[in-house]
Amino acid sequence: MRKNIVAGNWKMNKTLQEGLALATELNKALAGSTPNCDVVIGTPAIHLASVAAAIDTTKIGVAAQNCANKESGAYTGEISAAMVKSTGANYVILGHSERREYYGETSAILNDKVALALANGLTPIYCCGEALEVRNANGQNAYVKNQLEETIFNLSADDFKKIVIAYEPIWAIGTGVTASTEQAQDMLAFIRTIIAEKYGKEIAENTSILYGGSCNAKNAGELFAQPDIDGGLIGGASLKVEDFKAIIDAF
């Protein structure tokens, strides 16, 4: 049975003190209840250890937003998957469109990052999604299929089972324009179909696939009610406990 997941991606927001305040407030808000989904917060890398130490990580998973495509060594400024793991984090967001667009992350780079994340016991939250021009030309399915084929479809079935996928149409990220429930459901159903073609129906049925892009307290309920939408990767609305908790409660 696949898991429902609500994962926050704080992106480059919050100082350490602000991040700790947000994480501990969320921890408090979730204490004494059991959400109907797994909850994850993707903090800036420099906050990971402090956040993991300050919250109940059996209730709230901690994610890095990136890791290096190299194991260790002379790569100034980089943070390895092993380092991420050593902070107490258990997830890593990989292939976010902002990383692909602003930091030149190619499929080859992502293959190495995914492999290192898995080798170090991190669950990759692998992001895919098309730009507006692609959607306008109705090329979204082919585009996303190609992204998956060039990266995570290279994995063995055993490794693929450890992956969470997040579909984030670039035109919906931070724009306030959410994909319609139908557009999101159609794409996630398509992704599940191509996973079934590649890895078989059982693995497809057990893969958690999330939607991301202007998901908020108002639209989360309708999105999460769709048969193939197993949760959300939440940017802006993960920065306030009230908003994020309302999304968690949408399950």
Ligand X SMILES: O=C[C@H](O)COP(=O)(O)O
Binding site for ligand X (CB under 6 A): 9, 96, 168, 173-174, 212-215, 233-237
State which residue, 89 or 204, has the beta carbon closest to ligand X: 89
Catalytic residue among 98, 105, 130, 168: 168
The catalytically annotated residue of 47, 96, 98, 130 is 96
Nearest-angstrom CA–CA distance, 241 and 247: 10
In the complex with ligand X, which residue's Cβ is closer, 52 or 235?
A: 235
Beta strands, E only, 43-121: 60-64, 91-94
CA atoms of 107 and 47, how far apart (whole Å): 27
Both tokens of 204, joined, read 């497809």
CB of 31 to ligand X, least distance (A): 25
Residue whose token pair is 């109940």: 56
Residue 93 CB, shortest distance to ligand X, in Å, is 7
Which residues are known binding-site members? 9-11, 174, 214, 235-236
Task: Report the nearest approach of ligand X to the CB of residue 173 (Å).
Answer: 4
Minimal CB distance to ligand X: which residue?
A: 235
Short-list 37, 46, 166, 149, CA closest to 94: 166
Handedness of CA 106, 107, 113, 116 (dihedral sign): negative
Q: Per-residue b/e over 185-207, b at no fewer than 16 CB within 10 Å?
A: bbbbebbbebbeebbeeebbeeb
Nearer to ligand X, 204 or 248 (CB): 248
Please say if 168 is a catalytic residue: yes
Nearer to ligand X, 30 or 215 (CB): 215
DSSP letter assigned to residue 178: P
> What's the closest the beta carbon of residue 66 comes to ligand X, in angstroms?
12
- Kindly list the catalytic residues: 96, 168
